[in-house]
Amino acid sequence: MSDAALLDSDAYDAVVYDLDGTLVDLAVDWAAVADAVLDVYAANVVIPPTDDLWGLLEAAGEYGLAERVEEAIARHERHGARDSTLLPLGKRLLETGDGGGGAVPRSGVCSLNCEEACRIAVETHALDGALVADAIVGRDTAETHKPAPESLLAAVERLGAEPKRALFVGDSERDAVTAERAGVDYAWARDALGR
């Protein structure tokens, strides 16, 4: 996918970006986050079903720990969003994006990070002028999160587009699976930069 195709308003009505690893690099020690979540399980005398962070999040509801696990993760994400680094694709979005009012497609975010952290990172790097504010969707915005398609479909809908006229740009296999399940075209962030 070339830069021109990404920004071609004839090709897409909307472009949705993953956040962490695509537009910004959150300053989060994910091993420390997993330890914090394991501490939540331990404090509640629950044997963790896995040591995988996202598996722990998904299982938390079964043990009545969903809110505590979510907050343990979100606390790290919010801090990491404040100290995040703008990545090259984020820099390009700043240069070319206009919040959806001009020649480039309307743009939003669909992230596995909590919505508040997404908004903090967007504000920290002044990306809010290049993104539609209502189309910033985190894992806690919709009823499910990536790789389930609902969060991506919510972002696309908030951008006023149909899935077949939208593009999702991300950096992980989870992002690619999400796009496929949503019926949305997908581009790897590295390819979007012409690498």
> Which burial class, exposed, middle or buried, applies to 101 when counting CB atoms under 10 A from its CB (0-12, 13-18, 19+)?
exposed
Whether 94 contacts 55, CB under 8 Å: no
Which of 40, 57, 82 corresponds to the end of one domain?
82
pLDDT band for 105, please (50, 70, 90 cuts). confident
Question: Mind listing the pLDDT tens digit for each residue in 109-127?
Answer: 999 999 999 999 999 999 9
Q: What is the mean pLDDT of the chain?
A: 92
Query: How much is the pLDDT for 8?
Result: 54
For residues 19 and 113, is the Cβ–Cβ distance under 8 A?
Answer: yes
Same domain, 107 and 186: yes
DSSP 165-186: GEEEEESSHHHHHHHHHHT-EE
Q: Provide the domain limits for residue 99.
A: 3-25+85-192
Percentage, residues of the chain above pLDDT 70? 91
Q: Are residues 55 and 105 in the same domain?
A: no
State the virtual CA torsion across 100, 118, 51, 150 in degrees, nearest 10.
-40
Q: What is the pTM of this model?
A: 0.90
Adjacent-strand bridge partners of 97: none
Q: How far apart are CA 97 and CA 121, in angstroms?
A: 16
Closest to 6 in 3D by CA, of 188, 128, 131: 188
**CATH code, domain with 184:** 3.40.50.1000
Q: Quick one: 118 and 181 in the same domain?
A: yes
Are 111 and 16 part of one and the same domain?
A: yes
Using DSSP's 3-state secondary structure scheme, residue 64 falls into coil
pLDDT mean over 28-35: 97
Q: How does residue 13 score in pLDDT terms, banded at 50, 70 and 90?
A: very high
Query: Are residues 21 and 91 both part of a single domain?
Result: yes
Q: How many domains does the chain contain in total?
A: 2
Same domain, 54 and 138: no
CA–chain centroid gap for 73, Å, is 14
Q: Please state the rounded mean pLDDT for residues 66-81.
A: 98
**Three-state secondary structure call for residue 136:** strand
The more confident residue out of 103 and 105 is 105
Give CA–CA dist 167/11, Å, rounded.
9
Same domain, residue pair 108 and 66? no
Asked whether residue 75 falls in the same domain as residue 171, the answer is no
- pLDDT at residue 37 above 50? yes
